[in-house]
Amino acid sequence: MELMKMTMHEVKEYLKTNQTIIIPIGATEEHSNALPLGTDTLTAEALARKLGEVSLRIVGPTINVGNCHSITYSFHGTISISPTTLINYLKDYITSLHKHGFRNFFFVNGHGGNIAPLRCAFDELANTLTNSKFLVTSWWLMEELKELYNNAGHAGRGEVSMIMYIDKSLVKTAFLTEEKREIPKYYVTNDLAQKYITETGIINDSQEGSYELGEKLFNASVEAMLKLLKHLEES
Ligand SMILES: [Zn+2]
């Protein structure tokens, strides 16, 4: 069930028995020359929709531009919403849903730069909204996927595999490559990102992905998220 395709009557009826909403959030961000700019959004959206399908919960509109203010900001095609603006956007998005009766907010996140703004938004809402629970799940950080994902980096084999599974036509296989280097422990400004962190847009990984790994990562993510969704609702 997608909120965008439902009527207000259908939403009102749903809220009589359930107050959960699943919200996909991603980014429009460089993912090397092999993967689309929407990699994080496409992955989060596909996972959220599958989760909505198996749990019979509503999936809210996808937030498809996120916080990419560091590292990837200077690469062609990246669009970034500043952390402050994103926090405010999230607060308004959640507050609107809360007004109508939603109380369990389950974010399916596809992009690392969104985690801090999401947590800040939750903190800021904790004292203004009532009786609500918030959760952010980032598929590549889930304990259940640790072995499968094996620390794959940005635009690396994990994301290549996910996109191969979601829509193989979006992977430009002729450009698959690798870039591995020591990532500095300090933070650098964006004019130095290509010099110190990545030239190709891949951060510390190879792109030797596969449809089969994508299928495993996808299904394991949905399974783990389903458990968390139940935990959110039942605890
Ligand atoms: Zn990504």
* Per-block mean pLDDT, blocks of 10 residues, the chain (235 long): 98 98 98 98 98 98 97 96 98 98 98 98 96 98 95 95 98 97 93 95 95 98 98 95
- Sorted by sequence, the CB contacts under 8 Å of residue 225 that are 6+ apart come out as 47, 51, 106, 108, 137, 139, 142
Domain residue spans of the chain: 20-234
CA distances from 45 to 13, 15, 51, 60, 218 (A): 24, 22, 10, 10, 12
Ligand 1 center–CA 79 separation, angstroms:
13
pLDDT of residue 189: 94
Instruction: Say if CB 18 and CB 186 are below 8 A apart.
Output: no
Ligand 1 center–CA 111 separation, angstroms:
6
pTM of the model: 0.97
Q: Which residue type occupies 115?
A: I
Ligand 1 center–CA 39 separation, angstroms:
6
Q: 20-234: which CATH topology?
A: Rossmann fold (3.40.50)
pLDDT of residue 98: 98
> Which residues line ion ligand 1, judged by CB < 5 Å?
39-40
